[in-house]
Amino acid sequence: MGRLFIVGCSGHGKVVADIALKQNKYKEILFLDDNPKSDSCMGISVAGSSTYEDIRPEDEVIVAIGNPSIRQRLQEQYEESGLKLATLIHPQAVIGTNVRIGKGTAIMAGAVINPDAAIGKGVIINTGATVDHDDVIGDYAHISVGAHISGTVTVGQSTWIGAGAVVSNNLCICDNVMIGAGAVVIRDIEEPGTYVGVPARKIR
């Protein structure tokens, strides 16, 4: 049983740390942060920066940074270095049959992922979010607090579905899209950009 290094000790990092504590599977949990506000967070020590070198083969790393481009860059660096990536699932999340979950993904309390969904690597499924059957969630996407993705939806890489947003069934959302809080998506989205409103429309 090795240590867990959580990269990023802001609010998202705290939630990830809470999941790790509840899993009770790590010998020690430590934060890494390039700009720490103190030497500890939640009573957990900040061991160093994101380039910390004393990570052993038995240790695991998870990048707990909301920005998808930074999350992707750091996770890929750790992968290329041969480090083990953690996947953290809150004990009060519901994971259906035949759900596939990629490395470095964090699934928060109250999230529901229904059967035959595929969740990419470095994804955030946030508190109370739902991902229905046969959905495909691309790498480094973020399904925010209370967002609901209906069945047979594809969400592209690095796409952010805002808090409380709803995506209707049988739709595709391309890479690098931001869906605003409370928006309702009823059509395919084929162009990157920011979409808001009911129904969701691109901001010009």
Write out the DSSP string of the chain.
--EEEEE--SHHHHHHHHHHHHHT--SEEEEE-SS-SSSEETTEEEEE-TT-----TT-EEEE--S-HHHHHHHHHHHHHTTPEEP-EE-TT-EE-TT-EE-TT-EE-TT-EE-TT-EE-TT-EE-TT-EE-TT-EE-TT-EE-TT-EE-SS-EE-TT-EE-TT-EE-SS-EE-SSEEEPTT-EE-S-B-S-EEEETTTTEE--
The string of pLDDT tens digits covering residues 137-155 is: 999 999 999 999 999 999 9
Domain spans in the chain, listed from the N-terminal domain onward:
3-86, 89-195
Output the pLDDT for position 149. Answer: 98
Residue 7 has pLDDT above 90, yes or no: yes
Whole-angstrom distance, CA of residue 147 vs CA of residue 126? 8
Instruction: Please state the CATH superfamily assignment of the domain spanning residues 89-195 in this structure.
Output: Hexapeptide repeat proteins (2.160.10.10)
Q: What is the mean predicted confidence (pLDDT) over 105-125?
A: 98
- As a whole-number percent, the residues of the chain with pLDDT over 70 amount to 100
Active-site positions? 133
Q: For residue 158, what pLDDT is reported?
A: 98
At residue 1 the predicted structure's pLDDT band, cuts being 50, 70 and 90, is confident
Q: CATH says 3-86 is which class?
A: alpha beta
pLDDT reported for residue 4: 97
